[in-house]
Chains A and B, each alone.
Chain A
Amino acid sequence: DAGVTQSPTHLIKTRGQQVTLRCSPKSGHDTVSWYQQALGQGPQFIFQYYEEEERQRGNFPDRFSGHQFPNYSSELNVNALLLGDSALYLCASSLLGSNTGELFFGEGSRLTVL
């Protein structure tokens, strides 16, 4: 049973560029959340997708957008990249309405903005 898979694992961009990160949730999960983890910090919630709609959003600008596909996979898009966007981007999946509500995290996509 594959867990949460993310791609790419590492990427380097320059300021002003755009990036797309991809996530496949754990089998049987229907909800995908994205978190940003700066170096030495805890993950910060970006947004959450369920039934192909953004359901919750953290304190991130509109440059951060996402999408969920019918197969529950998801993309995170960041436009007009800033140096401060350099971070590990984590995808987490879960099953809405489950008793535990446990989030399963992928290994992340490490973004470096030069």
Chain B
Amino acid sequence: QQQVKQSPQSLIVQKGGISIINCAYENTAFDYFPWYQQFPGKGPALLIAIRPDVSEKKEGRFTISFNKSAKQFSLHIMDSQPGDSATYFCAASPTSGSARQLTFGSGTQLTVLP
């Protein structure tokens, strides 16, 4: 029940295209859903996050879509650029009164071709 399932494992997109990564969860106590971006040799960096009281959040070229009834959320990267090539992780956590304990998906390696 603690798992977050992420797909696809890898994704190749042409420059200017749309990258879509999907995640699903089971634990209904989860109420915070961030996406992290990780470059080789670096730690994960927060990209964008959403709470279940909204169905969509957009920041620049990055959009999270959230479907509470289906327990699914996705990351859309519009106008994908070669610099977006990285590994993307979805994650989820409950609000437990203490600092967040994130459960991560298994990651999606995105390659954007020039």
- A→B interface (CB under 8 Å): 4, 31, 33, 35, 40-45, 48, 50, 55-56, 58, 90, 92, 94-96, 100-108
Contact = CB atoms under 8 A, between A and B. Distances in A.
A100 B106 CA distance: 23
Nearest to B4: A42
Contacts of A92: 43
Given A90-B44, A103-B46, A107-B41, A43 B104 contact: yes
A43 B41 contact: no
Contact of B102 (A41, A43, A55, A96): A43
Contact of A4 (B43, B46, B96): B43
A107 B99 contact: no
Nearest to A100: B49
A34 B32 CA distance: 19
22 contacts: A31-B98, A33-B100, A35-B102, A42-B106, A43-B104, A45-B103, A50-B99, A56-B96, A56-B101, A90-B44, A92-B43, A95-B99, A96-B99, A101-B32, A101-B100, A102-B34, A103-B100, A104-B46, A106-B43, A107-B41, A107-B42, A107-B43
